[in-house]
A = this chain, B = another copy of it.
Amino acid sequence: MHSQSSPLGEFDLIERFFKTGGGSNSTLSLGIGDDCALIKPLAGEEIAITSDMLVEGRHFFAGADPEQLGRKALAVNLSDLAAMGAKPLGFTLAIALPKVDAQWLEGFSRGLFAVANHFDCPLIGGDTTAGPLTISITAMGSIPHGEAIRRSGAKVGDDVWVSGTVGDARLALAALRHEITLPESDLKTIEHRMHQPTPRIELGMQLRGIANAALDISDGLLGDLKHILKQSHVDAEILLDLLPKSETLGRQNQEVQNQFAASGGDDYELCFTAPSSQRDAILNIGKALNLSITRIGQITPMINSASEVRLIGPDGKILDNPQTVTLLKSFDHFSI
Protein backbone atom coordinates (compact mmCIF):
# COMPACT_ATOMS: atom_id res chain seq x y z
CA MET A 1 0.00 0.00 0.00
CA HIS A 2 2.83 2.36 0.88
CA SER A 3 4.62 1.77 -2.36
CA GLN A 4 2.10 3.39 -4.67
CA SER A 5 3.60 6.25 -6.62
CA SER A 6 1.38 9.14 -5.57
CA PRO A 7 0.33 9.71 -1.98
CA LEU A 8 -3.34 9.42 -1.15
CA GLY A 9 -5.04 12.78 -1.27
CA GLU A 10 -7.76 13.92 1.08
CA PHE A 11 -10.64 12.92 -1.16
CA ASP A 12 -9.22 9.49 -1.98
CA LEU A 13 -8.63 8.93 1.69
CA ILE A 14 -12.22 9.68 2.63
CA GLU A 15 -13.54 7.52 -0.18
CA ARG A 16 -11.31 4.60 0.53
CA PHE A 17 -11.57 4.17 4.26
CA PHE A 18 -14.56 6.08 5.41
CA LYS A 19 -17.13 6.25 2.65
CA THR A 20 -19.06 3.13 3.44
CA GLY A 21 -19.71 1.06 6.48
CA GLY A 22 -21.47 1.24 9.78
CA GLY A 23 -24.76 0.24 8.25
CA SER A 24 -27.54 2.60 7.52
CA ASN A 25 -30.89 3.22 9.07
CA SER A 26 -34.23 4.56 8.03
CA THR A 27 -33.66 7.94 9.66
CA LEU A 28 -30.65 8.78 7.49
CA SER A 29 -31.67 10.59 4.30
CA LEU A 30 -28.19 11.49 3.02
CA GLY A 31 -24.78 10.22 4.11
CA ILE A 32 -21.18 11.12 3.31
CA GLY A 33 -20.30 13.06 0.16
CA ASP A 34 -22.28 16.29 0.39
CA ASP A 35 -21.74 19.48 2.38
CA CYS A 36 -23.87 18.05 5.17
CA ALA A 37 -25.48 14.76 6.09
CA LEU A 38 -29.25 14.75 6.45
CA ILE A 39 -31.21 13.02 9.17
CA LYS A 40 -35.00 12.81 9.11
CA PRO A 41 -36.18 12.30 12.67
CA LEU A 42 -39.34 10.31 13.28
CA ALA A 43 -42.34 12.31 14.44
CA GLY A 44 -42.25 12.85 18.21
CA GLU A 45 -38.55 12.07 18.54
CA GLU A 46 -35.82 14.26 19.93
CA ILE A 47 -32.20 14.12 18.73
CA ALA A 48 -29.46 13.63 21.35
CA ILE A 49 -26.02 14.96 20.37
CA THR A 50 -22.64 14.43 21.99
CA SER A 51 -19.03 15.25 21.04
CA ASP A 52 -15.77 13.82 22.35
CA MET A 53 -12.18 14.43 21.40
CA LEU A 54 -9.33 11.95 21.86
CA VAL A 55 -5.74 13.21 21.67
CA GLU A 56 -2.66 11.00 21.29
CA GLY A 57 -0.54 10.92 24.43
CA ARG A 58 -3.45 12.20 26.50
CA HIS A 59 -6.33 9.76 25.97
CA PHE A 60 -4.31 6.99 24.41
CA PHE A 61 -0.65 6.01 24.19
CA ALA A 62 1.38 6.98 21.13
CA GLY A 63 1.52 3.89 18.95
CA ALA A 64 -1.77 2.55 20.29
CA ASP A 65 -3.33 -0.26 18.30
CA PRO A 66 -5.43 1.52 15.64
CA GLU A 67 -8.24 -1.05 15.67
CA GLN A 68 -8.71 -0.72 19.44
CA LEU A 69 -8.54 3.03 19.06
CA GLY A 70 -11.24 3.04 16.38
CA ARG A 71 -13.46 0.96 18.62
CA LYS A 72 -12.91 3.11 21.67
CA ALA A 73 -13.31 6.44 19.88
CA LEU A 74 -16.85 5.57 18.84
CA ALA A 75 -17.71 3.60 21.99
CA VAL A 76 -17.08 6.53 24.36
CA ASN A 77 -19.49 8.67 22.35
CA LEU A 78 -22.15 5.96 22.23
CA SER A 79 -21.75 5.71 25.99
CA ASP A 80 -23.00 9.31 26.26
CA LEU A 81 -26.01 8.41 24.13
CA ALA A 82 -26.64 5.42 26.41
CA ALA A 83 -26.64 7.69 29.44
CA MET A 84 -29.59 9.65 28.03
CA GLY A 85 -31.47 6.53 26.93
CA ALA A 86 -30.94 7.34 23.24
CA LYS A 87 -30.86 4.94 20.30
CA PRO A 88 -27.84 5.59 18.02
CA LEU A 89 -28.62 7.24 14.67
CA GLY A 90 -25.22 8.06 13.20
CA PHE A 91 -21.94 9.86 13.81
CA THR A 92 -19.46 12.25 12.22
CA LEU A 93 -15.69 11.78 12.43
CA ALA A 94 -13.16 14.61 12.26
CA ILE A 95 -9.62 13.26 12.33
CA ALA A 96 -6.18 14.84 12.16
CA LEU A 97 -3.44 12.43 11.05
CA PRO A 98 0.32 13.06 11.12
CA LYS A 99 0.64 11.12 7.85
CA VAL A 100 -1.40 9.01 5.48
CA ASP A 101 -0.68 5.48 6.63
CA ALA A 102 -2.91 2.99 4.84
CA GLN A 103 -2.20 0.21 7.31
CA TRP A 104 -3.10 2.38 10.28
CA LEU A 105 -6.24 3.63 8.57
CA GLU A 106 -7.33 0.12 7.72
CA GLY A 107 -7.03 -0.96 11.34
CA PHE A 108 -8.69 2.17 12.66
CA SER A 109 -11.65 1.96 10.29
CA ARG A 110 -12.04 -1.78 10.99
CA GLY A 111 -12.40 -1.07 14.72
CA LEU A 112 -14.59 1.96 14.16
CA PHE A 113 -17.02 0.16 11.88
CA ALA A 114 -17.12 -2.96 14.06
CA VAL A 115 -18.75 -0.80 16.75
CA ALA A 116 -20.77 1.23 14.22
CA ASN A 117 -22.21 -1.93 12.67
CA HIS A 118 -22.94 -3.51 16.02
CA PHE A 119 -25.02 -0.52 17.09
CA ASP A 120 -26.47 0.26 13.63
CA CYS A 121 -24.86 3.68 13.77
CA PRO A 122 -23.52 4.73 10.33
CA LEU A 123 -20.74 7.24 9.68
CA ILE A 124 -22.59 10.16 8.07
CA GLY A 125 -19.90 12.78 7.53
CA GLY A 126 -16.67 14.29 8.70
CA ASP A 127 -13.36 15.85 7.94
CA THR A 128 -9.80 14.60 7.51
CA THR A 129 -6.71 16.75 7.81
CA ALA A 130 -3.01 16.56 8.52
CA GLY A 131 -2.02 17.30 12.11
CA PRO A 132 -1.12 15.70 15.44
CA LEU A 133 -3.25 12.54 15.83
CA THR A 134 -6.59 13.76 17.14
CA ILE A 135 -9.97 12.07 16.81
CA SER A 136 -13.18 14.00 17.27
CA ILE A 137 -16.50 12.20 17.00
CA THR A 138 -19.99 13.62 17.26
CA ALA A 139 -22.69 11.00 17.75
CA MET A 140 -26.42 11.44 17.37
CA GLY A 141 -29.24 9.36 18.75
CA SER A 142 -33.01 9.49 18.98
CA ILE A 143 -35.31 9.45 22.00
CA PRO A 144 -39.10 9.72 22.17
CA HIS A 145 -39.93 13.28 23.16
CA GLY A 146 -39.69 13.87 26.90
CA GLU A 147 -38.16 10.46 27.71
CA ALA A 148 -34.48 11.46 27.83
CA ILE A 149 -32.87 10.61 31.17
CA ARG A 150 -31.27 13.81 32.40
CA ARG A 151 -28.73 14.46 35.11
CA SER A 152 -31.10 16.84 36.86
CA GLY A 153 -33.89 14.38 37.73
CA ALA A 154 -32.57 12.63 40.88
CA LYS A 155 -35.06 12.66 43.80
CA VAL A 156 -34.49 12.29 47.53
CA GLY A 157 -35.03 8.64 48.41
CA ASP A 158 -33.88 7.35 45.01
CA ASP A 159 -31.51 4.41 44.98
CA VAL A 160 -28.13 4.98 43.33
CA TRP A 161 -27.12 2.21 40.91
CA VAL A 162 -24.12 1.39 38.79
CA SER A 163 -23.84 -1.10 35.94
CA GLY A 164 -21.03 -3.64 35.52
CA THR A 165 -17.85 -3.16 37.53
CA VAL A 166 -15.77 -0.03 38.06
CA GLY A 167 -12.03 0.53 38.42
CA ASP A 168 -10.80 -2.02 35.88
CA ALA A 169 -9.69 0.45 33.23
CA ARG A 170 -7.73 2.34 35.88
CA LEU A 171 -6.13 -0.90 37.07
CA ALA A 172 -5.09 -1.76 33.52
CA LEU A 173 -3.62 1.73 33.12
CA ALA A 174 -1.71 1.36 36.40
CA ALA A 175 -0.25 -1.93 35.19
CA LEU A 176 0.70 -0.55 31.78
CA ARG A 177 2.35 2.40 33.52
CA HIS A 178 4.18 -0.03 35.86
CA GLU A 179 2.62 1.60 38.93
CA ILE A 180 1.31 -1.84 39.87
CA THR A 181 2.50 -5.33 38.93
CA LEU A 182 -0.19 -7.69 37.71
CA PRO A 183 0.07 -11.33 36.68
CA GLU A 184 -0.09 -11.56 32.87
CA SER A 185 -3.43 -13.39 33.01
CA ASP A 186 -5.02 -10.65 35.14
CA LEU A 187 -3.72 -7.94 32.84
CA LYS A 188 -5.17 -9.71 29.82
CA THR A 189 -8.54 -10.01 31.53
CA ILE A 190 -8.89 -6.36 32.33
CA GLU A 191 -6.99 -4.72 29.47
CA HIS A 192 -9.99 -4.98 27.17
CA ARG A 193 -11.97 -3.00 29.75
CA MET A 194 -9.62 -0.10 29.10
CA HIS A 195 -9.30 -0.51 25.34
CA GLN A 196 -12.76 -1.71 24.47
CA PRO A 197 -15.39 -0.20 26.72
CA THR A 198 -18.93 -1.41 26.04
CA PRO A 199 -21.45 1.41 25.63
CA ARG A 200 -24.54 0.40 27.64
CA ILE A 201 -26.98 1.34 24.89
CA GLU A 202 -29.56 -1.37 25.63
CA LEU A 203 -29.50 -0.63 29.33
CA GLY A 204 -29.98 3.10 28.73
CA MET A 205 -32.94 2.53 26.43
CA GLN A 206 -34.58 0.16 28.90
CA LEU A 207 -34.11 2.64 31.75
CA ARG A 208 -36.39 5.18 30.03
CA GLY A 209 -39.34 5.72 32.37
CA ILE A 210 -37.53 3.88 35.18
CA ALA A 211 -34.43 5.94 36.05
CA ASN A 212 -34.85 9.52 37.28
CA ALA A 213 -31.29 10.56 36.43
CA ALA A 214 -28.29 8.97 34.71
CA LEU A 215 -24.82 9.61 33.33
CA ASP A 216 -21.95 7.56 32.03
CA ILE A 217 -18.80 7.21 34.09
CA SER A 218 -15.82 8.59 32.21
CA ASP A 219 -13.91 10.59 34.83
CA GLY A 220 -14.55 8.38 37.89
CA LEU A 221 -17.74 7.10 39.55
CA LEU A 222 -18.01 9.41 42.54
CA GLY A 223 -16.77 12.55 40.79
CA ASP A 224 -19.22 11.95 37.98
CA LEU A 225 -22.04 11.19 40.43
CA LYS A 226 -21.49 14.70 41.80
CA HIS A 227 -22.72 16.10 38.47
CA ILE A 228 -26.07 14.40 39.07
CA LEU A 229 -26.18 15.67 42.65
CA LYS A 230 -25.29 19.22 41.67
CA GLN A 231 -27.85 19.41 38.89
CA SER A 232 -30.53 17.75 41.01
CA HIS A 233 -29.76 19.80 44.18
CA VAL A 234 -29.42 16.73 46.37
CA ASP A 235 -26.76 14.81 48.32
CA ALA A 236 -25.98 11.08 48.27
CA GLU A 237 -24.83 8.47 50.74
CA ILE A 238 -22.69 5.79 49.12
CA LEU A 239 -21.56 2.58 50.78
CA LEU A 240 -17.94 2.15 49.83
CA ASP A 241 -18.05 -1.64 50.21
CA LEU A 242 -20.87 -1.91 47.69
CA LEU A 243 -18.92 -0.49 44.74
CA PRO A 244 -18.94 -3.33 42.21
CA LYS A 245 -15.43 -4.65 41.51
CA SER A 246 -14.15 -7.33 39.20
CA GLU A 247 -12.41 -10.35 40.70
CA THR A 248 -9.15 -9.00 39.34
CA LEU A 249 -9.48 -5.65 41.09
CA GLY A 250 -10.70 -7.56 44.18
CA ARG A 251 -7.25 -9.14 44.44
CA GLN A 252 -5.58 -5.75 45.00
CA ASN A 253 -5.16 -4.22 48.46
CA GLN A 254 -8.16 -2.42 49.93
CA GLU A 255 -6.80 1.07 49.28
CA VAL A 256 -6.23 0.41 45.58
CA GLN A 257 -9.64 -1.25 45.29
CA ASN A 258 -11.42 1.71 46.82
CA GLN A 259 -9.47 4.36 44.99
CA PHE A 260 -9.76 2.79 41.55
CA ALA A 261 -13.43 1.83 41.90
CA ALA A 262 -14.42 5.22 43.31
CA SER A 263 -12.45 7.51 41.02
CA GLY A 264 -10.50 5.47 38.47
CA GLY A 265 -12.30 6.74 35.40
CA ASP A 266 -12.62 5.39 31.86
CA ASP A 267 -15.27 2.92 33.06
CA TYR A 268 -18.08 3.82 30.64
CA GLU A 269 -20.61 2.16 32.88
CA LEU A 270 -23.90 3.90 33.68
CA CYS A 271 -24.55 5.44 37.08
CA PHE A 272 -28.24 6.19 37.62
CA THR A 273 -30.84 6.88 40.27
CA ALA A 274 -34.35 5.39 40.47
CA PRO A 275 -37.20 5.16 42.97
CA SER A 276 -37.00 2.13 45.27
CA SER A 277 -40.26 0.90 43.70
CA GLN A 278 -38.23 0.10 40.58
CA ARG A 279 -35.76 -2.31 42.22
CA ASP A 280 -37.28 -5.45 40.76
CA ALA A 281 -37.67 -3.91 37.33
CA ILE A 282 -34.00 -2.90 37.32
CA LEU A 283 -32.74 -6.29 38.48
CA ASN A 284 -34.85 -7.93 35.79
CA ILE A 285 -33.33 -5.68 33.13
CA GLY A 286 -29.90 -6.70 34.39
CA LYS A 287 -30.82 -10.37 34.14
CA ALA A 288 -32.22 -9.97 30.63
CA LEU A 289 -29.06 -8.15 29.50
CA ASN A 290 -26.75 -10.50 31.42
CA LEU A 291 -25.25 -7.45 33.08
CA SER A 292 -24.76 -6.92 36.80
CA ILE A 293 -26.47 -3.82 38.12
CA THR A 294 -25.58 -2.89 41.69
CA ARG A 295 -27.32 -0.68 44.22
CA ILE A 296 -24.59 1.36 45.96
CA GLY A 297 -26.46 3.96 48.01
CA GLN A 298 -29.21 6.52 48.21
CA ILE A 299 -30.08 10.08 47.31
CA THR A 300 -30.49 12.26 50.41
CA PRO A 301 -31.55 15.85 51.04
CA MET A 302 -28.91 18.52 50.50
CA ILE A 303 -27.46 19.47 53.89
CA ASN A 304 -25.05 22.27 53.04
CA SER A 305 -25.05 24.87 50.29
CA ALA A 306 -23.31 22.57 47.79
CA SER A 307 -24.20 18.99 46.85
CA GLU A 308 -22.10 16.37 48.64
CA VAL A 309 -21.34 12.66 48.54
CA ARG A 310 -21.07 11.09 51.99
CA LEU A 311 -19.10 7.89 51.91
CA ILE A 312 -20.01 5.18 54.41
CA GLY A 313 -17.15 2.89 55.43
CA PRO A 314 -17.32 -0.81 56.32
CA ASP A 315 -17.94 0.13 59.96
CA GLY A 316 -21.11 2.02 59.01
CA LYS A 317 -19.48 5.36 59.80
CA ILE A 318 -19.08 8.30 57.45
CA LEU A 319 -15.52 8.60 56.15
CA ASP A 320 -13.64 11.69 57.24
CA ASN A 321 -13.14 14.59 54.88
CA PRO A 322 -9.58 13.95 53.62
CA GLN A 323 -10.45 10.34 52.74
CA THR A 324 -13.60 11.47 50.97
CA VAL A 325 -11.81 14.18 49.02
CA THR A 326 -9.26 11.67 47.77
CA LEU A 327 -11.90 9.19 46.68
CA LEU A 328 -13.94 11.88 44.96
CA LYS A 329 -11.08 13.27 42.93
CA SER A 330 -12.30 13.25 39.36
CA PHE A 331 -10.00 12.71 36.45
CA ASP A 332 -9.35 16.12 34.95
CA HIS A 333 -7.73 16.28 31.53
CA PHE A 334 -5.93 19.47 32.50
CA SER A 335 -4.71 18.67 35.98
CA ILE A 336 -2.87 15.38 35.41
Contacts and interface: CB of A to CB of B under 8 A. Distances in A.
A47 B51 contact: no
A275 B50 CA distance: 40
B53 A333 contact: no
A194 interface: no
Given A39-B47, A58-B131, A83-B36, A53 B334 contact: no
A49 B141 contact: no
Interface in A45-86: 46-53, 55-59, 80-81, 83-84, 86
A216 B35 CA distance: 7
B47 A129 contact: no
Contacts of A57: 131
A316 B58 CA distance: 58
Q: How large is the interface on A (under 10, 10 to 19, 20 to 34, 35 or more residues)?
A: 35 or more
Given A35-B50, A37-B50, 11 more contacts: A9-B334, A29-B148, A34-B150, A36-B148, A38-B47, A38-B148, A49-B92, A51-B136, A53-B94, A55-B134, A130-B333
18 contacts: A9-B334, A29-B46, A30-B150, A35-B81, A35-B83, A35-B214, A35-B215, A36-B80, A38-B46, A38-B84, A38-B143, A50-B125, A51-B92, A52-B94, A58-B130, A127-B136, A131-B134, A132-B132
Contacts of A47: 38-41, 47
B53 A136 contact: yes
Given A94-B53, A145-B40, A333 B128 contact: yes
A283 interface: no
B49 A151 contact: no
A33 B151 contact: yes
A140 interface: yes
Interface of A: 7-11, 13, 29-30, 33-41, 43, 46-53, 55-59, 80-81, 83-84, 86, 92-96, 100, 124-132, 134, 136, 138, 140-141, 143, 145, 148, 150-152, 214-216, 231, 330, 332-335
A254 B15 CA distance: 35
Q: How many copies does the complex hold?
A: 2
Nearest to A76: B127
Nearest to A146: B29
B130 A55 contact: yes
Contacts of A95: 53
A150 B138 CA distance: 22
B36 A50 contact: yes
Contacts of A49: 36-39, 92, 124-125, 138, 140
Contacts of A231: 33-34
A75 to B, nearest CB: 14
A10 B40 contact: no
A197 to B, nearest CB: 14
B51 A126 contact: yes
